[in-house]
């Protein structure tokens, strides 16, 4: 278990707060960070610091303040918060020196167009109050030129000697965004993301810290990059779930960006075409100013969206009208894209005689068939096995696959379109470093092709030759019990639709569904996300769900189901004994997937309209939780503002 406290050591030399020191801890030597200076300690017999590792603090005061704030807000051990914020090499005590100074020889190409009046207004408004914290929602329809606004504001701030931090959703998007900044910004752009090696990560960190880097562009962990001259924080595609870390220190980089900007006294821009309801609530509460880009610049118009009613189609993945539309666009030498949110060949491997289904031995889930390796794979724990040749239950050779994933769709497409290039983009085809970039390069060459992929495709890409987008299999999102499911589906549909028709030709989008009368589609067809979001916000207000209340989740898991549940029952009892009537407690309830990799998961939920009350309850809980004897093997964690 990580420790919630810090430890006292003696030191004769003058080590600064934020510097690293080598100390002995138990029988080991470890690297620590000096968090404060004390004249006396509550403990006697203190050990001495063995070695000071930094002459200058590694963590400046404002970063330390920010990290303490985050540790406190998420009730997470400061040691682990620090560990998330510092690259591994530095955590291990290696010298804080740049190893491979990179050459920066950007060829700058200035923009060839004037900004639109809406872009102009956004730029002027933000630059007009760039000397203090001010939060903005840059709400621009897909392709409306949000990135152009970031670029122009960044240019202006760099001239004032400031640094700019840009957060983007996930690795797939980073190369494109980096390229755009490098082509336009007369300054040093460094990237921070998980595909860098440790030396690169450390160098990027140190360049940010020394202010040698003018722009730091990265995925969620870049929120912790030290930037002494930080003058602007941008969170692009703020609605994206990947800003939330879903293991150990469970922070939301989007939510933390407010405090990061506040500590730096700098403005914050959250940009998106489909704001999260949390962000729209912040606009309602005047914590953010909404700036709108309502149209695409120039001649580009929004795509036309139609529905294909699958109740009157065969059980094939692709309906006939869909194939017709694809043919039409390909004939015009344009690109088409199909979007299906499932990788692998087929999600079900079953017996047509007795209904036996291949299930994971370690999870409550079905095995997904992957054809190229002829294996059944569990997407939850990674377990793999050869498919049986006859049914383990009735012994007949009546096993078949059911349903579609990207791999099977690709195979289907090859039979319908034997002469067209097919590019599949999912986690299986992009595992190799650079694979994604290579796919993108091919697409950007503009040659007609069919792109098939999962939601990796939904994010911000600008494919200029893409004329048609087909969306398969959205109905799961309509039937889900998760209260955020429709919000997320609307965001996804609008984002995916937004990939179509980015150049002068009008694009087209077709959505296959068995529920064509669901209200969500009317809004998606009008591309009116805002109206749909307001109706969802009203519902959330009536039901007092986030963002109109605040949640925390305590999740426990153990190999022994009863132990996990019993532990949470005791926690629930402890919480109920705390006298805070504004906090509702419900559970424990089994996780959505109760058994994962041989562990049973249970959740306990806390909800309150008063954030303060919720946090007071959590503080009290931490004071007493050691008194609950978690029987041996129960593991648990707290998730503040959970999104799953």
Where does this chain bind ligand ADP (CB under 6 A)? Answer: 113, 115-116, 119, 140, 142-148, 297-298, 462
For residue 189, the minimal CB distance to ligand ADP (Å) is 16
For residue 423, the minimal CB distance to ligand ADP (Å) is 21
521 or 599, CB closer to Zn ion? Answer: 599
Break the chain down into helix, strand, coil percent, rounded to 5. 35, 20, 45
Indicate which of ligand ADP, Zn ion, none lies near residue 146 (CB less than 5 to 8 Å, by partner kind).
Answer: ligand ADP
Indicate which of Zn ion, ligand ADP, none lies near residue 360 (CB less than 5 to 8 Å, by partner kind).
Answer: Zn ion
Other beta carbons less than 10 A from residue 65's beta carbon: 13
Bridge pairing between strands 583-596 and 599-608: antiparallel
For residue 445, the minimal CB distance to ligand ADP (Å) is 16
Indicate which of ligand ADP, Zn ion, none lies near residue 115 (CB less than 5 to 8 Å, by partner kind).
Answer: ligand ADP
For residue 356, the minimal CB distance to Zn ion (Å) is 4
Indicate which of Zn ion, ligand ADP, none lies near residue 354 (CB less than 5 to 8 Å, by partner kind).
Answer: Zn ion
Give yes or no for residue 584 binding Zn ion (CB under 5 A).
Answer: no
Measured CA to CA, the distance from residue 368 to residue 372 in angstroms comes to 12
For residue 464, the minimal CB distance to ligand ADP (Å) is 7
Give yes or no for residue 393 binding Zn ion (CB under 5 A).
Answer: yes
Evaluate whether 439 touches 377 at the Cβ level (below 8 Å). Answer: no
Indicate which of Zn ion, ligand ADP, none lies near residue 618 (CB less than 5 to 8 Å, by partner kind).
Answer: none
List 292's β-bridge partners, or say none. Answer: 139
First to last CA, the chain: 24
DSSP letter assigned to residue 483: T
Judged by DSSP in three states, 24 sits in strand
**Of the candidate residues 49, 391, 471, 585, the single one contacting Zn ion (CB under 5 A):** 391
Indicate which of Zn ion, ligand ADP, none lies near residue 252 (CB less than 5 to 8 Å, by partner kind).
Answer: none
Evaluate whether 499 touches 457 at the Cβ level (below 8 Å). Answer: yes
Measured CA to CA, the distance from residue 478 to residue 499 in angstroms comes to 22
DSSP letter assigned to residue 221: G
**Of the candidate residues 360, 409, 423, 556, the single one contacting Zn ion (CB under 5 A):** 360
The side-by-side arrangement of strands in the sheet containing 230-236 is: 189-192, 215-218, 163-167, 230-236, 268-272, 135-140, 289-293
Residue closest to 356 by CA, chosen among 382, 384, 388, 378? 388
Indicate which of ligand ADP, Zn ion, none lies near residue 93 (CB less than 5 to 8 Å, by partner kind).
Answer: none
**Of the candidate residues 353, 584, 594, 598, the single one contacting Zn ion (CB under 5 A):** 353
For residue 458, the minimal CB distance to ligand ADP (Å) is 12
Residue closest to 341 by CA, chosen among 521, 217, 485, 230? 485
465 or 563, CB closer to ligand ADP? Answer: 465
Measured CA to CA, the distance from residue 404 to residue 391 in angstroms comes to 21
**Of the candidate residues 381, 422, 485, 574, the single one contacting Zn ion (CB under 5 A):** 381
Measured CA to CA, the distance from residue 69 to residue 85 in angstroms comes to 13
Reported residue count of the chain is 644
Q: What angle do CA 210, 214, 219 make, to 5 degrees?
A: 95
Measured CA to CA, the distance from residue 142 to residue 460 in angstroms comes to 8
57 or 145, CB closer to ligand ADP? Answer: 145
Give yes or no for residue 611 binding Zn ion (CB under 5 A).
Answer: no
Give yes or no for residue 380 binding Zn ion (CB under 5 A).
Answer: yes
Indicate which of Zn ion, ligand ADP, none lies near residue 53 (CB less than 5 to 8 Å, by partner kind).
Answer: none
144 or 488, CB closer to ligand ADP? Answer: 144
**Of the candidate residues 262, 290, 362, 611, the single one contacting Zn ion (CB under 5 A):** 362
Indicate which of Zn ion, ligand ADP, none lies near residue 380 (CB less than 5 to 8 Å, by partner kind).
Answer: Zn ion
Give yes or no for residue 368 binding Zn ion (CB under 5 A).
Answer: no
For residue 487, the minimal CB distance to ligand ADP (Å) is 20
Indicate which of ligand ADP, Zn ion, none lies near residue 381 (CB less than 5 to 8 Å, by partner kind).
Answer: Zn ion
The side-by-side arrangement of strands in the sheet containing 28-33 is: 28-33, 20-25, 51-52
Give the footprint of Zn ion on this chain (CB under 5 A): 351, 353-354, 356, 360, 362-363, 378, 380-381, 383, 391, 393-394
């Amino acid at each position: 278990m990580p420790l919630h406290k810090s430890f006292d050591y003696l030191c004769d030399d003058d080590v600064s707060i934020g510097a690293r020191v080598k100390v002995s801890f138990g029988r080991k030597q470890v690297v620590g960070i000096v968090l404060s200076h004390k004249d006396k300690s509550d403990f006697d017999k203190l050990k001495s610091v063995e070695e000071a590792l930094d002459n200058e603090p590694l963590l400046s005061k404002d970063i330390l303040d920010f990290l303490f704030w985050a540790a406190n807000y998420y009730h997470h051990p400061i040691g682990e918060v620090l560990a998330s914020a510092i690259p591994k090499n530095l955590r291990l005590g290696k010298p804080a020196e740049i190893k491979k100074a990179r050459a920066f020889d950007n060829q700058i190409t200035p923009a060839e167009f004037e900004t639109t009046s809406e872009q102009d207004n956004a730029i002027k408004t933000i630059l007009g109050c760039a000397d203090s914290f001010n939060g903005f929602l840059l709400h621009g329809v897909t392709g409306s030129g949000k990135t152009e606004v970031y670029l122009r504001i960044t240019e202006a701030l760099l001239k004032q000697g400031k640094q700019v931090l840009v957060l983007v959703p996930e690795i797939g998007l980073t190369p494109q965004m980096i390229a755009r900044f490098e082509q336009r910004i007369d300054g040093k752009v460094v990237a921070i993301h998980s595909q860098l090696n440790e030396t690169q990560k450390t160098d990027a960190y140190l360049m940010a810290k020394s202010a040698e880097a003018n722009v730091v562009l990265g995925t969620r962990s870049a929120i912790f990059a030290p930037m002494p001259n930080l003058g602007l924080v941008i969170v692009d595609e703020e609605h994206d779930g990947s800003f939330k870390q879903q293991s150990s220190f469970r922070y939301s980089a989007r939510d933390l960006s407010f405090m990061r900007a506040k500590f730096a006294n700098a403005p914050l821009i959250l940009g998106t075409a489909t704001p999260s309801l949390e962000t729209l609530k912040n606009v309602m509460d005047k914590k953010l100013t909404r700036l709108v880009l309502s149209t695409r610049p120039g001649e580009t118009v929004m795509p036309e969206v139609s529905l294909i009613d699958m109740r009157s189609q065969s059980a094939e993945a692709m309906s006939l009208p869909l194939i017709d539309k694809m043919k039409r666009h390909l004939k015009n030498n344009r690109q088409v894209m199909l979007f299906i949110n499932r990788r692998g060949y087929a999600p079900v491997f079953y017996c047509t005689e007795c209904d036996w289904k291949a299930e994971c031995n370690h999870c409550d889930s079905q095995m997904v068939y992957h054809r190229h390796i002829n294996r059944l794979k569990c997407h939850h724990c990674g377990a793999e096995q050869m498919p049986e040749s006859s049914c383990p239950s009735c012994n007949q050779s009546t096993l078949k696959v059911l349903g579609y994933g990207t791999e099977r769709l690709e195979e289907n497409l090859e039979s319908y379109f034997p002469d067209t290039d097919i590019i599949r983009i999912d986690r299986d085809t992009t595992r190799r470093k650079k694979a994604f970039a290579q796919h993108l390069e091919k697409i950007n060459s503009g040659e007609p092709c069919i792109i098939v992929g999962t939601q990796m495709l939904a994010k911000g890409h600008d494919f200029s030759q893409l004329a048609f987008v087909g969306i398969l299999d959205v109905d799961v999102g309509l039937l889900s019990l998760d209260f955020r499911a429709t919000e997320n589906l609307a965001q996804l549909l609008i984002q995916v639709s937004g990939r179509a028709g980015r150049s002068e030709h009008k694009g087209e989008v077709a959505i296959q569904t068995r529920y064509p009368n669901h209200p969500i589609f009317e809004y998606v067809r009008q591309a009116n996300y805002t109206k749909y979001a307001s109706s969802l916000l009203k519902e959330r207000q009536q039901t007092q769900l986030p963002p109109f209340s605040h949640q925390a989740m305590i999740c426990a898991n153990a190999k022994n189901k009863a132990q996990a549940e019993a532990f949470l029952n005791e926690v629930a009892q402890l919480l109920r004994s705390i006298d805070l009537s504004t906090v509702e407690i419900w559970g424990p309830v089994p996780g959505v997937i109760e058994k994962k990799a041989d562990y049973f998961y249970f959740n306990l939920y806390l909800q309150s309209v008063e954030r303060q009350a919720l946090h007071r309850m959590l503080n009290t809980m931490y004071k007493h939780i050691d008194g609950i004897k978690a029987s041996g093997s129960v593991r648990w964690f707290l998730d503040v503002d959970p999104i799953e």
